[in-house]
Amino acid sequence: MKKVITYGTYDLFHIGHLNMLKRARALGDYLVVAISTDEFNTGKHKQCVYPYSHRAQIVEAMKFVDKVIPETSWEQKIEDIKKYSIDVFVIGDDWTGKFDFLKEYCEVVYLPRTKSISTTAIKDTVQSGKSISSIT
């Protein structure tokens, strides 16, 4: 069984998140998703709309997600890779190079982000009264 892991905040779940999880799962047979806790997001200077418990449950409900764990620190990745016998670490290419140190433990894949959608864009669009289709 080829096991894949990815990390993220996954606030205001959108098509970019869905594309990432779908492609991540397609790289193996089992997908673990580490969702950033509210406390960890404070360190990332991210103020989430949805609390951790909602973000985790929404991602966990995805049919191609097998397990959700909390992301509480930048340093947990190596331990997670060992603990869950991970074969592939995958994340969006906005992080290209940042996690190359994990190549010692597993394959590292950076996937292209989905263009013109982001949690920030959604927040701005909602405030402007426009629809998302107007930005994708």
Q: Binding ligand C2G by CB under 6 A: which of 3, 4, 5, 8?
A: 8
Q: Binding ligand C2G by CB under 6 A: which of 114, 125, 132, 135?
A: 114
Residue 94 or 100 with smaller CB distance to ligand C2G: 94
SS3 label, residue 90: strand
Residue 10 or 30 with smaller CB distance to ligand C2G: 10
Contact set with ligand C2G (CB under 6 A): 6-10, 16-17, 19-20, 36, 44, 71, 91-92, 94, 113-114, 117-118
